[in-house]
Structure 1
Amino acid sequence: MTVGSAPVTDVHAHLLMPGLHAEVTRRAPDQVAAAAELEFRRNGAESQAVSGPMVGARIAKLTDVGVRLSEMDAQGVDVQWVSASPNHFYPWAPEGLAVWSAMEANRLIAEHVAAAPDRLRGLGLVPLQHPARIVEYLDDAVLGRGLAGVEISSFAGDVELSDERLEPFWARAAELGCVVFLHPFGCSLDERLDRFYLANTVGQPTENAVALSHLIFAGVLDRHPGLRLIAAHGGGYLPTAMGRSDHAWRVRPDARRCAHEPSSYLQKLWFDTVVHDPVGLRHLVELAGSDRVVLGSDYPFDMGLDDPVGFVRSAGLPDEAVEAILGGNARALLTSGVAV
């Protein structure tokens, strides 16, 4: 369902790689078990009991190209950008396992999208917790595998997105003109969110807000203005709370590490439409600009949008904004650099 001259493009859709996870488990069974226990504590028994069957019922959607394409057709989506399910980040992994799993994920993602190259684009992985190795695997994803960019988490171990050790990564991503897709995995608030599914409903927006604030306040976007960074889930809580960040920037010297008021950087980022509320989508467009919002679904999880195109059309936005969000902005993100 092409809109104008641009294909309708969903930038937020996931791939599950069971073989990769099985091999990671074989290589590091104790660490995988510890990570699973941490997630159990963070999410709580009630939510875990719901999430397991939910994912199980969606295995075909997460792994089978034919099923994916059929679902896209039903949604009116021409192109999907496919990224790994965040459980494949393995932020605890030591260097050897982390770089192997990133390389293997890049291979598997490239293989998946190659089955329908006119409909699918891929976003690879990098070992975020090992900054010295990140550029190598960014190049592996983009130059070696032909992927459109990479997906990263909101943090990994002791590495925040403001970490000086990530400067070569940001510089290389800007140089390549590739996409960096920010998608949290879990939440660092741990057991405080272990009931009512708060680990997702509150935790994910919080992680987005924290990660983006690290990027903005540290001046990363000043130093690397060519970055093409998309924040999942509409950027979480950050866009709607920028007044407080701007005030801190004006009155606190310890908050004045970026060149301009923090709210101005919303126009230097991109945000997907997975905000679940038409009023929230209109507000996001008002704050960031209609040229900075791209269609997302979080396919195929239950916290995603089953009708992402219909959701955008229901928000009461001007026709030109709808066209840009549904496809024009995603196309523009890939119009230069090696990610074309």
Structure 2
Amino acid sequence: MTAVVDVHAHVILPEVEQAVAGRPGLEAHRELDARRNGAESLAVSGRMVGARIDALTRVPVRLADMDARGVDVQIVSPSPSHYHYWAEPDLAERVARIANEGTAAHCAQAPGRLLGLGLVPLQHPELAVAALDHALALGLKGVEISSHAPGVELSDPRLEPLWSRAAETGAVVFLHPFGCTLDERLDRWYLSNIVGQPVENAVALSHLVFAGVLDRHPGLKIVAAHGGGYLPVHLGRADHGWRVRPEARGCAEPPSAYLRRIWFDSLVHDPAVLRSLVAAAGAGQVLLGSDYPFDMGVEDPLERLAAAGLPDAARLAITGGNAARLYGIKE
């Protein structure tokens, strides 16, 4: 019987925050975060994380929640708050190593049930391959990245060695945005997350697609959080632009064709949107995801999947069959 696999779950690693405490650049990073989110949302988020800290740090709590939700395996990635893309090279390299080692140690407490992803210092592309290799050497399945880093879009030629190495090793790259460059325009009503995350997913995936990254690296395993944001359900405009605008022809095929080369989690919060995602990308490209244990996630990912009313074969593939193949999990 195929294991139920949740590919979108997080861990908080206090050691990462200890490493950056008091370092130059941290205060400016926090000020930017405050401008982007607004004081009210920061306060609510602080209380939310505090109430869920056991789930974010203690393996027995995580396993009990998984059992209650019918999840056999979680793919655990560091909280995106650990990216710290403001850090200079030495600190950035240290943050990635601490995150990789901490995630591996967390997952090692439940072999077979917890698999992990590490981090790379995306803001320093020259350090990214070594950080990926470090993560893989620890037994992690790949790495988590944001939609961009300061001065580095995912289309940046300096990231070509990272994409090459990830494709060569079969490492999974989990695209999970953190922060939106629309800044203060989204500083009320939690729009920084509600609107900002889907925007960032769409922009980041568009950079990968239109720049031809997936043409040059056909074996690259990209998993997009939050169902890929706004991109998968609004591809008609992208395809039209690709056809009529010569400067949009950075990729070999229409943008919609690349959805069959990207994987997406099921965390879209609406049965109709999930059906649209499956129609656009194919059932073989969608994976179960909950964003455990944050409040923008869901506590019932299997029930949410069932509510979409997909054919049994598609539902079983999304429940765990696709993830088993992608992450090398024994069924």
**Normalising TM by the smaller chain, what interval?**
over 0.9
Superposition pairs of residues 139-288 of structure 1, within 5 angstroms: 139-142=133-136, 144-288=137-281
Shift of 1:33: 1.7
Shift of 1:32: 1.5
Q: Is 2:133 the counterpart of 1:136?
A: no
Shift of 1:36: 1.1
User: Tell me, what secondary structure is at the counterpart of 2:25?
Assistant: helix
Q: Is 2:97 the counterpart of 1:103?
A: yes
Shift of 1:313: 1.0
Shift of 1:335: 3.5
Find the aligned partners of 1:149 and 1:335 in 2 and give their Cα distance. 12
Find the aligned partners of 2:327 and 2:112 in 1 and give their Cα distance. 14
Find the aligned partners of 1:20 and 1:256 in 2 and give their Cα distance. 41
Find the aligned partners of 1:91 and 1:178 in 2 and give their Cα distance. 21
TM-score, with length taken from structure 2? 0.98
Find the aligned partners of 2:328 and 2:131 in 1 and give their Cα distance. 22
Shift of 1:48: 1.3
Output the amino acid matched with 2:90. Answer: G
Q: Deviations 1:8-57 (Å, cap 9, x if unpaired)?
A: 0000000001122022114x1x4222111111110111211211101110
User: Tell me, what secondary structure is at the counterpart of 1:302?
Assistant: coil
Superposition pairs of residues 42-81 of structure 1, within 5 angstroms: 42-81=36-75
Q: Is 2:319 the counterpart of 1:326?
A: yes
Q: Which runs of 5+ in 1 are unaligned?
A: none
Shift of 1:265: 0.3
**RMSD after superposition:** 1.3
Find the aligned partners of 2:95 and 2:85 in 1 and give their Cα distance. 11
Q: Is 2:6 the counterpart of 1:10?
A: yes
Find the aligned partners of 2:185 and 2:108 in 1 and give their Cα distance. 42
Find the aligned partners of 1:310 and 1:275 in 2 and give their Cα distance. 13
Q: 1:323 to 1:164 in 2, by over 3 A?
A: same
Shift of 1:242: 0.6
Output the amino acid matched with 2:305. Answer: V
Find the aligned partners of 1:38 and 1:271 in 2 and give their Cα distance. 29
User: Tell me, what secondary structure is at the counterpart of 1:72?
Assistant: helix
TM-score, with length taken from structure 1? 0.96
Q: Deviations 1:152-178 (Å, cap 9, x if unpaired)?
A: 010001010000000110011000011
Find the aligned partners of 2:125 and 2:325 in 1 and give their Cα distance. 29
User: Tell me, what secondary structure is at the counterpart of 1:117?
Assistant: coil
User: Tell me, what secondary structure is at the counterpart of 2:179?
Assistant: coil
Output the amino acid matched with 2:71. Answer: V
Find the aligned partners of 1:198 and 1:188 in 2 and give their Cα distance. 12
Find the aligned partners of 1:261 and 1:204 in 2 and give their Cα distance. 24
Q: Which runs of 5+ in 2 are unaligned?
A: none
Output the amino acid matched with 2:92. Answer: A
Find the aligned partners of 1:252 and 1:164 in 2 and give their Cα distance. 22
Q: Which moved more, 1:327-336 or 1:116-125?
A: 327-336
Shift of 1:67: 0.3
User: Tell me, what secondary structure is at the counterpart of 1:165?
Assistant: helix
In the TM superposition, structure 1's runs of 4+ consecutive aligned residues that sit over 2 Å from their partners are: none
Shift of 1:194: 0.4
From 293, 302, 312, give the equivalent of 2:305.
312
Q: Is 2:21 the counterpart of 1:25?
A: yes
Shift of 1:334: 2.5
Output the amino acid matched with 2:251. Answer: C
